[in-house]
A and B are shown apart, each in its own frame.
Chain A
Amino acid sequence: MTERKEAWPARLALVAVVALALAACGVGGGGSGGTPTKGGTATFALLPDTKANYIFPMAPIQYFSVANFDQFQVLMVRPLYWFGNNGSVALNDQLSLAAEPQYSDDGKTVTIRLKNYRWSNGQPVTSRDVEFWMNLLRANKTSYAAYLAGGFPDNVVSMRFPDSQTAVFTLDKQYSSYFFTYNQLSEITPIPQAVWDRTSVNGPVGDYDRTPDGATAVYNFLDSQAKDLSTYATNPLWQVVDGPWHLKSFSTDGTLEMVPNPSYSGPVKPQLASFKELPFTTDSAEFNVLRAGQVDYGYIPVQDLAQRSYMSSHGYSYQPWTGWQITYVALNNSSPTVGPIFNQLYVRQAMQHLIDEEGWIKNILKDTGYPTYGPVPLKPTSKFLDAAEQRNPYPFDAAKAVSLLKAHGWDVKPDGVSTCQSPGTGASQCGDGIPAGTKLQFALQYASGSVYLQQEMEAMKSDFSKAGIQLNLTQQPFDSVIANAVPCTPGKPCGWDVANWGGGWIYAPDYFPTGDEIFASGAGNNNGAFSDPKLDQLIAQTTTDSSLKAIQQYEDYGSQDLPVLWTPVAQGQLSEIRTSLHGTGPQDPIFNLTPENWFFTK
């Protein structure tokens, strides 16, 4: 925080407004007490080595990041539907540009009715702006981060825009309303057609988007403008917003400042005079600056958790930030050598029994993490999570792991390497494709640069040895691990057995936690080419059946089927927030920032 200016009448008015808001919304914050003030600048520390560098919301995948989307673009240009509601992952009607979508009885037609939002140039946000987005997306879908073949917008057979406030989509088949709203409509961001529908800086605005060639030309123009980072704060295109903020300054090093959009027509108007994001090279560099009191909203690195009391005594409040994600270790089921071993459920069960999730959380994550027991995140709690998945079906139990292997024909050698003694497909034999003498010996590559991940993998190696499963650990950069962890191509060398890039899977911008992208047979991000027909069928059901039972059946089966090995989730961020900064909580599990809720107290 750097400045606070105001007059008494405004302060009194603000006290009343904020008190009402607190009472009505339960808005939490960095601390409690004090007199709310209007104005001031709040500074927010970006995660290490991240920064905003793409402003056009239809971002290619390499620019689709929290720093670009959740903490930059959505502050200026709002998505059609806002997900994240009081700390949970749910459709937020208050912050959405449209009322909740209405599905026809046959589930094949969805009607969207826009609310009365306005662009900062005074024009209304209309269905033409939705059409503009859809036309650009259809013509340039392979350039968009969230595009999946056969998914959105391929599954929209036709679109109608009967009036300026209504959009009607006809779908190719019946979809689950959860799936279509959370994972398909979530990808729409109305953009200002009356300003952006052009193909050059000085060219006229037209209806270019209504032809595929024209839509491609418009996309190329907007993409080219988004490549000129030095003009982000000055380019008139990016100054037209419907969100609560617009850019005041932007530096290519990642520092940016936003000021309130005076024409914002949404429910919560900013109280701060401005909001700044600060980039950092490392978490240690950030913590040095935080300790010096030069950041209002920062984070404490896990390795510095012992300094929590120092921060607390210097006016900061500790608040872990829980993300909507699961973490896991991927197994290479497609490998001709180790794939047949991983294809055996009892082997996966034995391995899962050797992962001490609770122990890792206590000893490595210092009680800041939480376990993963299945495909739906345990935190934040959601309506998608059922009681069964909240229990660990494979608690840490080395003896159980040993007995599972022995029962299937393995000569188990604790602290050595177990070998298959009884090949074959019988109930007490090793299983299909596993010859006699096969060793339980795997290469595990994991992402470098994280102390806790290294400790977890070393603990895993140690615990796996109790059942004679030998893991040979290698560290590689995150990008190399994910580059290697792809299904093997027949006839080509396959360079991995087990992989852990540390990030697992974040359910965004597809917020409905089904497995169509990660665990279904042939899915683009099914790293080890895991395949189970029953799991496929349950995943498919989640996309067509609107009942919660469908997702719960899938998660219960997936939890026990182990398409991957579940591991604990580290908190997205261990926030340290100045106690005089309020309105920051609960922190959004999708990592969206809403500084329009923030205010300082004296």
Chain B
Amino acid sequence: MIRYVGRRLLQSVVVLAGVTITVFVLTALLPGSTARAILGPKATPIAIAAFNHAHGLDRPLPVQYAVYVWQLAHGDLGFSYLLNESVGQLIGERLPKTLVLLTLAYAVALLVAVPIGMMQAVRRNRVEDYGITAVAFLLYSMPAFWLGLILIIVFSADLSILPPEGPQGGVDTYLGQLPALVLPVLSLSLITIALFSRYMRSSVIDNLVQDYVRTARAKGASESWVLYRHVLRNSLIPLITLLGLSLPVIFSGALITEAVFNLPGMGLLFWDAARRRDYPVLLGVTLVVAVATVIGNLLADILYATADPRVRLTGS
């Protein structure tokens, strides 16, 4: 296992180098002057030249990349062209907000989707299965911004029981603003529940017809024992894959939800950086998400082995 993890971590260094080179080259290929995009319509040629010089944009691209890697090796992700903060500071401010929001949303989704999926599988093709399937499809097909606005109109504007925006300020103040977390978390959870419950239902149905289930029943195990001790564990494997793939999402943020609920996290940070050509921020966020992707995949592989003893991880 240790050899396997070590080998995967070494591979990840190559992946991360590839990611940074790709983004670096792509940003250089964009038409138009980066300096003018940053400095605005009133930028003079003098200001543009000064900006390019100050940020090394007047140097050859390989030199710019080498400088970037050198800074990276010293723990410096760079300084935003526009936000007057270091990229490290910006990620430090935004990432905790995103982690709180998305971790809560995924936790709620799992807690609800797993039992729902199991119940649907056990009672498949009955009224309750059809009913939940219809609701799941409805939720899953809803655009996130629309669902968010509906929740705000109902719970904030009409009923006045929840705030119309997410918690403001740093995450250290969130405990005092718990009601403000409800709508953004709910908005993300509802869509995720729809997705997860469908996977869970399908996976449980597949497992219920497996030989080991028949064997367990033949040995006299009760239906609930079979379901919770045998089927549940094996049915979670597709969800583990989904969760592994979701880890980068947790780090990259939920752009629409952040925008609707005035909750600036990693999603908006990345979107604004891409839109406004704030390349240091763009590169920094990309790097963080790439690291999360690599770690997410690795964790998923390790969890497979935990959930299914037949899976063995080797260094070869």
Please give the residue numbers on chain A whose beta carbons come within 8 Å of chain B beta carbons, in ascending order: 49, 53-54, 61-64, 142-143, 145, 147-149, 226-227, 229, 251-253, 255, 278-282, 284-286, 288-289, 291-292, 294, 477-480, 482-484, 486, 495, 501, 503, 505, 517, 524-525
Contact = CB atoms under 8 A, between A and B. Distances in A.
Nearest to A501: B41
Nearest to A504: B41
A149 B30 contact: no
Interface stretch (B44-52, B134-142, B202-210): B44-52
Given A284-B259, A289-B262, A480-B37, 6 more contacts: A280-B262, A292-B157, A292-B163, A480-B277, A483-B31, A525-B41
A145 B44 CA distance: 9
Interface string B250-283: 0000000011111110001000100111000000
A489 to B, nearest CB: 11
B42 A483 contact: no
Contacts of A285: 165, 259-262
A505 B41 contact: yes
Contact of A524 (B43, B81, B170, B261): B43
B46 A149 contact: yes
Contact of B34 (A147, A279, A483): A483
Contact of A142 (B31, B47, B275): B47
Nearest to A285: B262
A526 to B, nearest CB: 11
A253 B93 contact: yes
Contact of B36 (A294, A486, A517): A486
B41 A281 contact: no
Contact of A292 (B36, B156, B264): B156
Given A53-B83, A292-B164, A281 B37 contact: no
B44 A148 contact: yes
B227 to A, nearest CB: 43
A524 B45 contact: yes
Nearest to B35: A483
Contacts of B152: 288
B93 A252 contact: yes
A516 B165 CA distance: 45
A68 B36 CA distance: 19
B38 interface: yes
A62 B42 CA distance: 10
Contacts of B44: 147-149, 524-525
B34 to A, nearest CB: 7
B149 interface: yes
Contact of B40 (A53, A255, A278, A482): A482
Interface residues of B, number: 49
A252 B47 CA distance: 26
A124 B13 CA distance: 60
B236 interface: no
A97 to B, nearest CB: 25
A479 B34 CA distance: 9
A486 to B, nearest CB: 6
A280 B258 CA distance: 10
Contacts of A281: 258-259, 262-264, 268
21 contacts: A53-B83, A53-B84, A61-B40, A62-B40, A142-B47, A142-B50, A149-B44, A251-B169, A252-B93, A253-B93, A281-B263, A281-B264, A284-B259, A285-B259, A288-B262, A292-B160, A482-B36, A482-B37, A482-B41, A503-B41, A525-B44
A521 to B, nearest CB: 14
A288 B164 contact: yes
B76 interface: no
B71 interface: no
B84 A483 contact: no
Contacts of A54: 84
A495 B32 CA distance: 8
Interface in B61-86: 81-85
A61 B264 contact: no
B168 interface: yes
Contact of A288 (B84, B165, B277): B165
Nearest to B79: A227
A483 B264 contact: no
A279 B43 CA distance: 26
Contacts of A63: 84
A289 B263 CA distance: 12
Given A142-B50, A149-B44, A479-B277, A61 B39 contact: yes
Contacts of B38: 62, 479
For the complex of A and B, list the 9 residue pairs with the smallest distance between their C-beta atoms, beginning with the closest: A483-B32, A483-B37, A479-B37, A285-B262, A524-B44, A288-B164, A484-B32, A53-B84, A477-B275
B33 interface: yes
A289 B169 contact: no
A282 B256 CA distance: 10
A284 B40 contact: no
Interface in B150-180: 152, 156-157, 160, 163-165, 168-170
Nearest to B30: A480
Contact of B164 (A145, A289, A482): A289
Interface in B211-236: none
B174 to A, nearest CB: 13
Nearest to A54: B84
Contacts of B34: 483
B94 to A, nearest CB: 9
Given A148-B44, A495-B32, A505-B41, A62 B263 contact: no
A495 B42 CA distance: 20
B41 A226 contact: no
Contacts of A64: 42
A227 B86 CA distance: 9
A480 B31 CA distance: 8
Nearest to A476: B32
Contacts of B84: 53-54, 63, 226-227, 229
Contact of A284 (B31, B43, B149): B149
Given A61-B47, A62-B81, A524-B44, A284 B260 contact: yes
Residue from the set A63, A252, A255, A281 with the largest chain B CB neighbour count within 10 Å: A281
Nearest to A284: B260
A253 B264 contact: yes
A289 B46 CA distance: 42
